[in-house]
Each structure stands twice: as C-alpha cells, then as structure tokens.
Structure 1
C-alpha cells in the first residue's frame, strides 16, 4: 500500500511540475511576451553601444589632448593665443539713422508667420 501511495504522489508531483513548466513556456511564447523580450534586448544592446561610444569618445579626446601637447612642445608653442571676442551686430530694424530704415514696412518681420 505504501508503494502505491508513494508512486501516486510522485506521479502527481511530476504532473504538476510538467504542467507548470509547459504553461510558463507557453506564456513566454505569446506575441506580447516575444515583443517585450525583443524590445528589452534592443534596449540593452543600444545601452551597451552607447557606453562603448562614450568610452571611445573620451579616449579620443584624451589622446587628442596628449598629441596636441606633444605638438605644442615640439613646435615651441607655450601659450595658445587667445581668440578675439565674438562680434556683436546692432539690430538695423529700429535704427532711424540707417538709410535702409523704413517707417511703415509693407512686410512683416514675424518669422513665424505663415509657417
């Protein structure tokens, strides 16, 4: 009697385990689950590529600065010349002394008009 109970219980446990495994696999193979898995893989791959690109850009920047220092030393350039300040242009729209100034223009200065 004990043997029959043991094998019956073992069979029930194996059946429950197999059913659980099959149902879990079926849920993984639904279109929604496959799409979510593919999206997650794509995001992970994109993040890895981004991390590698950032690392590569930092390496390039460091090597560029090192090479620039080597070239400055070889050419005897100690201080980089300062660049002049950017020019600022006065607006000519409201400058009445400008001969191109028009009191009542027939066109609009609104760049967003008709766009």
Structure 2
C-alpha cells in the first residue's frame, strides 16, 4: 500500500513539473492585457486574469530572486513594469516558457555584474 502511494505521489510531482513548461509567453498575453487595463482602472477589466498575471510574475520572482541584482528599494510596481514592457516589446520570445520569459525580463533590467 505504501509503495503505491509513493509511486502515485512521485508521478504526480513529475507530471506537475513537466506541465509547467506548457505555459509559455503566449499564455501571458491575455492576462497581461487585463493587467494593463487594471492599471488604467478600466471598468471592463477581468481582474481574475489581471491578478493571475501579477501572481505568476511574483511567483517566478520569489522562486528565483537570488538570480537577480535588484536594488534595495525595488518594489512590486517596478517588477510588474519591467516584465510587462519586456513581454510587450519582445513578441518573438512569446513561444518561450513563461517562467524563462519573466526571468529574462528581470535579468535584462537588473543584471548581476
């Protein structure tokens, strides 16, 4: 019984980590659009999508913050501005995994020398 549970949990973890790479930059486009609408306080904003974008970006940053050299006074608004602009300015990268795209945006803005 324990062996079946262990195998089931192992497969679930492996399947979950593999599926993370199916979320790419194209999948961030609509949530980013809604995030931009939220910034403008557009009454037609889909806040679920907007906060999904924000949460995804924060999650990637929190999981990988040791890879960046952000300033001491770095904040959430700056993080969102950097990532949003990078994604909007680089449509040729939209097919890349979303976490790599977010990480590349932050590294480009705050490289470690």
Normalising by the residue count of structure 2, what TM-score does the alignment of the two structures yield? Answer: 0.25
The structure that is helix-richer by fraction is: 2
Normalising by the residue count of structure 1, what TM-score does the alignment of the two structures yield? Answer: 0.25
Which fold has the larger relative contact order, with Cα–Cα distance below 8 Å and residues 6 or more apart in sequence?
2
State the structure with more CA Rg. Answer: 1
